Structure formats: C-alpha cells, structure tokens
Amino acid sequence: MTSTEDVVRRYFSLVADLDSSADELREVVTPDAVFTELPNPISPNGHTRTIDETIAGFLAGKARLTAQSIEIHEVLVVGDRAAVRSTWRGTIGDTEIVAHMAGFLTVRDGRIVAHDTYDCYEPFAI
C-alpha cells in the first residue's frame, strides 16, 4: 500500500514535470477531485476547479512555461491528510515567477481527492 506522503510527493512531481502527461496526472487523482486555489495575484478571487478544469490548466501551463520546479520543504501527514510547504518556480520567457506555497491535500485509496492551495507570490518584475 502506498502511503499518503508517497502519493502527495508523486502528485507534486507530476505537476512540476513539464514532460508529464494528463493521463499520468489522472492516475494519481480521483475523477471527483476538487482543487481549490485561494486568492492570490494570479487568481485574485481564487477558484475551485474540477479535475477537467485542473487538467486544462495543467496543459496550458506546460504550453506557456519554459521551465518549472516544485521544491518540497516538508510534508506533515495525519491519516489521509497532508500539509505541504513548498516553493514553486516557473519561467516564462526570461522571467522567473516564484511562489511559496502551503497545500492541504486529502488522499483516498491511494489518489488525491482534494487539494487546497495558498500561493504567496514574490513581487513580479515590472
């Protein structure tokens, strides 16, 4: 049996990998998964997405970004819930965007069923 932490780390690895596929992401999330992005400079009103909306954003990001990484600083697990502190870096053209993230995920039967993310972006270059 795969641990909650292993599932979460696999999920973040797939999200960060510009060569990963939508099918690979679908393997680690449930069809009824809910993704909630809290308000931030990229999404000022926040947004709640279904798996299909999340996949569309996943693919759009791959088309826009020339580089991307997620460094996981810590994962705290209690049962099927995980709290993840990480740093995301994405490059568009010559500009790197950096977000310090706190994510709260729920795993059911070895797959992500919910992901709430709090993204704190560093100031954007003007």
- pLDDT, position 27: 97
pLDDT, tens only, 85-106: 999 999 999 999 999 999 999 9
Q: Read off the CATH number of the domain in which 62 is found.
A: 3.10.450.50
For residue 113, what are the CA distances in angstroms to 49, 52, 73? 12, 13, 22
Among left, alpha and beta (phi > 0; psi -120 to 50; other), residue 14 is alpha
Task: Give buried/exposed letters for 11-43 (b at 16+ CB in 10 A, else e).
Answer: bbebbbeeeeebeebbebbbeebbbebeebeee
46-69 mean pLDDT: 95
What's the confidence (pLDDT) of residue 119? 97
Mean pLDDT calculated for residue range 109-114 = 97
Q: Does 35 map to a domain?
A: yes
Could you tell me if residue 126 is inside a domain? no
Residue 63 lies in a domain: yes
Range of the structural domain that residue 62 is part of: 4-121
pLDDT digits (tens, 9 = 90+) for 45-55: 999 999 999 99
Answer whether residue 39 is part of any domain: yes
pLDDT reading at 35 higher than 80: yes
In a domain, 110, yes or no: yes
| CB contact burial 69-103 (16+ within 10 A = b; e otherwise) | ebebeebebeeeebebebebbbeeeeeebebebeb
Query: Tell me, what amino acid is at 8?
Result: V
95: its two tokens: 């500009």
Residues whose CB is less than 8 angstroms from the CB of residue 94 and which lie 6 or more positions away in sequence, other chains included: none
Could you read off the pLDDT of 113-122 as tens digits, one per residue?
999 999 999 9
Number of domains in the chain: 1
